[in-house]
Amino acid sequence: MTIDFDGQRFDVAWQNPLDISMPLQFDGAQPRFFGAPAARQNPLAAGGFVGDTRQGGSCNVDELRLIPHCNGTHTECIGHIAEARISLHDTLKKAFFLAQLITITPESAGSTSDQYRPALQQQDKVITAAALRQAWHNQIAPALVIRTLPNLPAKKFQDYDSKPAPFFSLDAMKLIAASPVQHLLVDLPSLDRGNDDGLMAAHHLYWDVPQGSNRVDPASCSLKTVTEMIYVPDEIADGLYLLNLQCPGFMSDAVPSRPLLFALSSAR
């Protein structure tokens, strides 16, 4: 398989997808955020039927309970901050995109002049505009995948209430919002600080919604997406990839998702 983009032709390593989602283990350790309960999986019980072959059922039929925004890899749309009920199903119409993977080390709040609302606190770690410029040289791909350092496997099971994650400064988010990026993927639970007084300033910047407003016209709103709580293993090198953003057909502002990267090489 080959693809053409911006005058270049690439061969796609189609048979070797690189999964950058966090598999959600219903019976094991999970990532958690914003005080949400753990995701759960229970067999359906209806009349004399039990949906568990280990309990004598004829087949397995599970009920899954989760909060997409808090329990693992998920993709969200502008409906996340809108009064109008706007679903990802109605905004994400394609599944394949050229993606740029970059790696960034968040900086301590005291070492940057970047701004945030509410004001940065001493313990905050932020993705700054300077760090973004240093790592992001090829700003043509419609998808941007950001891996943060340190890249510990514990990210896949992190309780982000007890160990707050880095987030984007407003200066860094302005750079992304002004770029061709339509699909932003991050290994963080949120673009914003978890305890940000409900301002969600980075989300508003990304989706071009005035700060303090939740009024969005579904007929003309941004079609950009954000995918949070990914995990990019160290062995996946920075560079250009083909992204397959797999999402179920739920009518919701956020859904569990499985982003896959496919390596590219220059076609001959």
Alpha-carbon distance of 143 to 239, in angstroms, equals 12
What integer pLDDT is reported at residue 85 of this predicted model? Answer: 97
Q: Decide if pLDDT at 14 tops 80.
A: yes
Total number of residues shown for the chain: 268
Alpha-carbon distance of 249 to 158, in angstroms, equals 27
What integer pLDDT is reported at residue 267 of this predicted model? Answer: 82
Q: Decide if pLDDT at 101 tops 80.
A: yes
Question: What six digits make up the tokens of 5?
Answer: 């983009």
User: Is there a contact between 176 and 135 (Cβ–Cβ < 8 Å)?
Assistant: no
Residue 151: partners with Cβ closer than 8 Å, 6 or more residues away: 103, 187, 232, 233, 234
**Domain extents in the chain:** 2-23+75-266
User: Is there a contact between 172 and 206 (Cβ–Cβ < 8 Å)?
Assistant: no
Helix (H) or strand (E) holding 127: strand 125-127
What's the mean pLDDT in 80-107? 97
Q: Which residue has the tokens 């270049």?
A: 8
Q: Decide if pLDDT at 268 tops 80.
A: no
What integer pLDDT is reported at residue 30 of this predicted model? Answer: 94
User: Is there a contact between 115 and 102 (Cβ–Cβ < 8 Å)?
Assistant: no
Report the candidate in 91, 62, 81, 55 with the shortest Cα–Cα distance to residue 247. Answer: 91
CATH class of 2-23+75-266: alpha beta
Render pLDDT for 170-200 as a digit per residue (tens, 0 to 9).
Answer: 999 999 999 999 999 999 999 999 999 999 9
Residue 107: partners with Cβ closer than 8 Å, 6 or more residues away: 125, 126, 127, 128, 130, 131
